Amino acid sequence: MTDTLFNITAGVVTTDDYYTPKWLFDALGVEFDIDVAAPLQGIPWVPAKRWFSQENDGLAQDWGGQFVWMNPPFSKATPWCNKFMENANGIALVVVSRSKWFASMWERADSICSTPYDLAFQRPDGSMKTISFQTFLFAIGPKGVAALHNANINRVR
């Protein structure tokens, strides 16, 4: 995994440290098997049975088709999105990008939903901050599709 993920032991905060807000998980109303790109300590409000962090390298782990949550480091989304599509079961939150991986995700996803334009992410210090890019939720598999529809965040395609 890259050194751009949050390392709580070293106290390093980077531009990739934007945690999905709790209200989004409340709206989705599902439990994930794995948060595949979590900070070292995990995020308490992410409803996942377990998580992979920089320490155990989520990209190197076998996701085994399990239902995953993925909010990858936006600075290096390509390998994460490729693995998400390979796993073919879960929900990913990613930024709009003029890249091959984004076009592939757009074609591969069973459902897609834009997030609110002013989505605020939680920073490691607890503050909330918006980013300058639009984000989307991509779902692959029936459980993820149902969660996007039930969340009623925006129109789902």
Query: pLDDT of 23-82, one tens digit each?
Result: 999 999 999 999 999 998 899 999 999 999 988 999 999 999 999 999 999 889 999 999
Residues 6+ apart with CB under 8 A from 10: none
CATH number at residue 78: 3.40.50
Task: Answer with the residue of higher pLDDT: 85 or 123.
Answer: 85
- 15 occurs within a structural domain: no
Q: What pLDDT is recorded for position 8? A: 37
pTM recorded for the entire structure = 0.88
Question: Which residues span the domain enclosing 36?
Answer: 22-151
Q: How far apart, in Å, are the Cα atoms of 8 and each of 15, 51, 53, 74?
A: 14, 15, 11, 19
What CA dihedral angle connects 143, 50, 114 and 60, to 10 degrees? -100
Q: What pLDDT is recorded for position 5? A: 35
Average pLDDT, the chain: 89
- 10 occurs within a structural domain: no
Q: How many independent structural domains does the chain possess?
A: 1
- 121 occurs within a structural domain: yes
